[in-house]
Amino acid sequence: MDQLAIIGGRELYGELPIAGAKNSALKVMAACLLTAEPLVLDEVPDLADVRQLVVLLGNHGVICRRDGARLTLDAAAISSTTAPYDIVRKMRASFNVLGPILAREGHAKVSLPGGCAIGARPVDLHLKAFEAMGASIELEEGYVLAEARNGLSGAEVEFPFVSVGATEHVMMAATLARGTTVLKNAAREPEIVDLADCLRAMGAKVEGDGTDTITIHGVSSLHGATHEVVADRIEMGSYAMAVGAVGGELLLTRGRRELLGSAAGVLEECGLTLKEEVRGLRVSRWGTPTVSTSITTEPFPGFATDLQAQFMALMAKGTGKASVTETIFENRFMHVPELRRLGADITVDGRTATVTGVSRLKGAPVMATDLRASMSLIIAALCAEGQTMISRVYHLDRGFERLDDKLRAVGALIERVREDA
């Protein structure tokens, strides 16, 4: 099993490429099931989750070919409408094959996704929306059995709370439904807009993405297309926070300020400078202390929950006290004990953590508990004195492409080593 060895204290300088967004790539990959013609996707990150979805799509008969960052998906014939537990349990995003298969084939059998370390994240919203569109839904031995033998019908779906996954899932299925589907209280994340752009390139009629009301006018069929996956705002925000923690200047290529939502302004309050350029977003912090700033996670354009752990690491060396309130997922402060091992002063009361800035962090052995927590430990390790050993970094490989290579190229002292070495 791999570990990451990091010696802190070095500023970061240079260019760092931002990959296509994992959370967007997984959904536009599932969209290939909506058409019998090839879907060509550019800037697809080479990550464990992406490779796992390729396995699942192959189970459904999709021919997948990768050439660098380009992924070609050909679902000319769906050979199986069943998504088995052994595959779906490994990644929750696998569940989103249900809607496209149901819309195209009229029936689907998909395993319920497994548990999640950062909260239950139920799929009830997805299933209730499909029922509103005329599907019959049954649960049998851990599987969802969905049928709409005469096709799905347009419907008005109002989500009781904002859900990115449910918005994306229903949006895909609605493209092939008869009539018009209106999604109210829809998610507004950049990944929603990216999926809508891909679907429009395939011939879908989608309006209102980026707002809380999305309208989809169903069509009889979709065709092939070429689409470039949007830059990963979580990767971009994470590296920006790394600059904030250790100092320096990075050009985050393909990065755009607007993708960060309110987090961009928060980072500027903390003392960072963000400047948009033709090739990306330039982020710098020169000689000024990190200003402690409080945040509350919210749906986009609010502060992203997927940047909460990283921000806490940035605040660990702030000038005062900062509160970090998590409103999206329960049980998402599991990184706190590990940050404390590095010397961070953090107390937790319910859904709010209070971070009191300290003058220095010190390297120590720590353990990653989930994907975003892994990145928070790296940010803390980059500005800690001495060496930090981070174990269970397989979490990182699910969401950050070539992270150690990218950081090494901009000046970090970081190496991947075998745990038993």
Q: Summarize pLDDT for 115-151 with one digit per residue, the tens.
A: 444 344 478 999 999 999 999 999 999 899 999 999 9
Same domain, 321 and 401: yes
Owning domain of residue 206: 22-228
User: How many other C-beta atoms lie within 10 A of the C-beta of residue 61?
Assistant: 15
Torsion 77-79-83-85 (CA) sign: negative
Residue linked to tokens 């094959």: 97
Q: What is the dihedral of CA 88, 89, 93, 97, to 10 degrees?
A: 20
CA distance 399 to 375: 10
Average pLDDT for 242-263: 98
* CA-to-CA dists, residue 146 to 58, 136, 276, 386, 416, angstroms: 21, 6, 46, 55, 44
Average pLDDT for 42-52: 95
Q: Which pLDDT belongs to residue 370?
A: 85
Q: Which pLDDT belongs to residue 90?
A: 82
pLDDT in tens, 228-239: 999 999 999 999
Residue 115's SS3 state is coil
CA distance 81 to 141: 17
Same domain, 349 and 285: yes
Same domain, 196 and 239: no
> pLDDT over 90 for what percent of the chain?
88
Q: One-letter amino acid identity for 335?
A: H
Same domain, 126 and 181: yes
Binding residues: 22-23, 92, 121-125, 306, 328
Q: Which of the listed residues 182, 201, 228 is the one where a domain comes to its end? A: 228
Average pLDDT for 386-413: 94
Residue 418's SS3 state is strand
pLDDT in tens, 277-291: 999 999 999 989 999
> In this structure, are residues 75 and 99 in contact, taking their beta carbons and an 8 Å threshold?
no
Phi, psi dihedral angles at 58 (to 5 degrees): -60, -35
Average pLDDT for 197-202: 98
Same domain, 224 and 346: no
Q: Does residue 36 surpass a pLDDT of 80? A: yes
Average pLDDT for 4-32: 97
Q: Which pLDDT belongs to residue 420?
A: 64
Phi, psi dihedral angles at 234 (to 5 degrees): -75, -40
Q: Which of the listed residues 210, 228, 246 is the one where a domain comes to its end? A: 228
Residue 396 — pLDDT band, cuts 50, 70, 90? confident
> pLDDT over 70 for what percent of the chain?
97
pLDDT in tens, 315-329: 999 999 999 999 998
Please, which residues bridge with residue 67 across strands?
Answer: 70
Structure tokens belonging to residue 193: 């807009």
Q: Which pLDDT belongs to residue 114?
A: 62
CA distance 74 to 266: 42
Binding residues for phosphoenolpyruvate: 22-23
Same domain, 199 and 253: no
Same domain, 77 and 209: yes
Q: Give the CATH number for residue 268.
A: 3.65.10.10
Q: Is 383 a catalytic residue?
A: no
Same domain, 101 and 127: yes
Binding residues for UDP-N-acetyl-alpha-D-glucosamine: 92, 121-125, 306, 328
Number of domains into which the chain is organized: 2
Same domain, 243 and 150: no
Same domain, 60 and 153: yes
Q: Does residue 193 surpass a pLDDT of 50? A: yes
pLDDT in tens, 65-101: 999 999 999 999 999 999 999 989 888 889 999 999 9
> In this structure, are residues 7 and 363 in contact, taking their beta carbons and an 8 Å threshold?
yes
List 64, 116, 198, 270, catalytic entry: 116
Residues across the chain: 421
H helical segments located in 151-248: 164-174, 190-201, 233-246
Structure tokens belonging to residue 394: 């397989």
Phi, psi dihedral angles at 202 (to 5 degrees): -85, 0
CA distance 178 to 155: 9
Q: Which pLDDT belongs to residue 120?
A: 45
> In this structure, are residues 171 and 216 in contact, taking their beta carbons and an 8 Å threshold?
yes
Q: Which of the listed residues 195, 228, 261 is the one where a domain comes to its end? A: 228
